[in-house]
Amino acid sequence: MFKRIALFLATNLAVLALLSIVMAVLQKYFNVTLGNSGSLLLMATFFGFGGSLISLMTSKWIAKRSTGAHVIEQPRNESEQWLVNTVRRQAEAAGIKMPEVAIYDGPEINAFATGPSRNNSLVAVSTGLLRAMNRDEAEAVLGHEVSHVANGDMVTMALIQGVLNTFVIVLSRVVGRVIDSFISGNREGGGVGIGYYVIVFVLDMIFGLFASMIAMWFSRHREFRADAGGARLAGRDKMISALQRLSQTYGESTLPKTVQAFGISGAVGHGLRRLLMSHPPLEERIETLRNAPLEQVRGTVVS
């Protein structure tokens, strides 16, 4: 986790350094007034990165509250005992601490994993999954979710979103200043007009859309990795069978938006809408898993 945070902090600082250079060049050589660039960079880092890290730190608590998940502390029946034992065995194989295991009320076949780190996580399954899947299929789904945790996907997603948020905040305001200066002819006093705020609002939306596409591209990529991880922990045939069973309710989700990206089932989209989907099409996931080299679906999860 600390290596990932260090890497993305370095990336974020590099982005800020590049933007600060661009801002200095615009002010010095193109006479574009950008105001207090230091304050802008500080504000962008605080709101862009801070929000993502707060969301990560509170992710388990939010997931429990928003789904009404029942955490299994003492198994009440054989099914709950099997869930706990399976997650414990897979966590040991993946080299992570035992996640909390929970069940939430949801009619669709789904499960999710969340948490601030590999060793402080939650794995939850829906009641619909327990009704529709046999033990082999459920084992593969649990392996998929444990792989998300072992791969550090929650941390990486939060940090990527932080970098993107920071970039959007700074870039929209820099471009907004440039456009406003061009329209106003660099008004006296270096102030901004109402047009600046309208431009920034529009640019926030546009750049935010492109940032979401980048984040969702990574989200789709990590689903393939988690499918391969589930195959390593439970077996390729079990994982393929689980994905095929998932097609019965694929695209349906009662999960809150805060945890939908971490469910095994995602929304269905085609064309340009697919660029904003957190999960790849189910048929692509099955085909990729079928064609994966044997060494990619054998052994233990590599973080």
Catalytic center residues: 145
**Strand 111-117 and strand 100-104: pairing?**
unpaired
**Is the Cβ–Cβ distance between 243 and 264 less than 8 Å?**
no
What are the residues whose beta carbons fall under 8 Å from the beta carbon of 179, sequence distance 6 or more? Answer: 199
- Measure CA of the first residue to CA of the last residue in the chain; give whole Å: 10
Return phi, psi of residue 263, to 5°. -80, 160
Give me the DSSP letters along 200-233.
Answer: HHHHHHHHHHHHHHHHHHHHHHHHHHHHHHHHHH
Spell out the residues 6+ positions from residue 210 whose beta carbon is closer than 8 angstroms to its own: none
Of the candidates 236, 234, 269, the one whose C-alpha atom is nearest the C-alpha of residue 251 is 269
Give the pair of three-digit tokens for residue 134.
């046999």
172, 207 Cβ separation under 8 angstroms: yes
Spatial contact of 101 and 83, defined as CB atoms under 8 Å apart: yes
Paired tokens of 230: 């589930």
Query: What is the distance between the alpha carbons of residues 147 and 87, in angstroms, rounded to a whole number?
Result: 11
Could you give the residue ranges of the DSSP H alpha helices within 37-152?
Answer: 37-57, 59-67, 78-94, 127-132, 135-150
Tokens at 212, concatenated: 């979401």
Separation CA 243–CA 28 (nearest Å): 57
